[in-house]
Amino acid sequence: MEFPPLSNEPVLIAYAVKDRRPGQKPIWTRIGAAWPHDKGAGLTLILDFLPVEPRIVLVEPRADLPPLPDE
């Protein structure tokens, strides 16, 4: 997996995914992001929240979604 040079923009977004009853869509909650590790191969994952659900999904950022407001 090859990543672009270091930047302020994350290369992956972390979501906690909670499954629901059959026929209902799962709930996706953004909990953090990942950046290329500054020492070479690997990623640095920063979680803003620790999920209760055991499933964390990492996906590439989508250009069609607005950025989250700065805190």
Task: Tell me what pLDDT residue 52 has.
Answer: 87
Taking the chain (71 residues) in runs of 10, the rounded mean pLDDT of each run is 63 93 93 88 91 90 63 37
Task: Tell me what pLDDT residue 30 has.
Answer: 93
Task: Tell me what pLDDT residue 68 has.
Answer: 54
> Which are the contacts of 44, defined by CB distance < 8 A and separation ≥ 6?
34, 35, 36, 37, 38
Contact indicator for 17, 57 with CB cutoff of 8 Å: yes
Enumerate the domain spans of the chain.
12-59
Task: Tell me what pLDDT residue 69 has.
Answer: 47
